[in-house]
Amino acid sequence: MTKEFIEGNKIFLETDFERKKDRYMTLVESQHPTVLWIGCSDSRVNPERITHSRAGELFTHRNIGNIVPTHDWNFATVLEYAVKHLKVKKIVICGHSDCGALKALDADMKDDSYIPMWINSAKEAQIRVDARLPEQPTTPEEMAARKREIEIENVRLQIEHLKTYPLVSEAERKGTVAVHGLYYDLKSGVLTEIA
């Protein structure tokens, strides 16, 4: 497997790094991303690829379900560094279609130790969507629509979690940071803003 990475790196060096050497050399000294991107660890949703961003533009934090935990040192450290030291102007939370973490909200995960605890931070999104539905979905189309609504509602919920961090609420109040929600559709490749 590592041979594939080394070979891929050779292609990167030839097709990108050498052609844009000046750009990469500026990144050797420092980084100046303008966006903190909070996304899912899903291998199909690469933030730089789906946004056509260059190296150094996105400061990323990825985890299962694009969760913004309210009591997690790893996340809090990334957030603090992005806002206070990198001085990002935007924070984006990006959800996506076919999210396994959110499918797991309906699954029996009794054999797993960590996943159920982690995705519990998204449970409220499922509760909100189910409360809005007139009846339990039964057709494949209705179930797919419910799943999509949960994925979108989870982005909204995680934005709420993000705004509980005093450093985010203060930066928003001062106008130095704007928070956005996005949703990526795997079938169409389209990225849309969530209101």
Annotated binding site for Zn(2+): 40, 96, 99
d(CA 159, CA 65): 13
Give dist(CA 177, CA 8) in Å, integer.
36
Binding site per annotation, positions = 40, 96, 99
Paired residues of 182 in beta bridges: 94, 193
List the beta bridge partners of residue 92: 37, 180
Structural element, H or E, at residue 175: none
| Buried b or exposed e, range 24-52, using 16+ CB within 10 angstroms | eeeeeeeeebebbbbbbebeebebeebbe
Q: At 26, phi and psi to the nearest 5? A: -65, -30
Q: In this structure, how many other beta carbons lie within 10 angstroms of the beta carbon of residue 153? A: 21
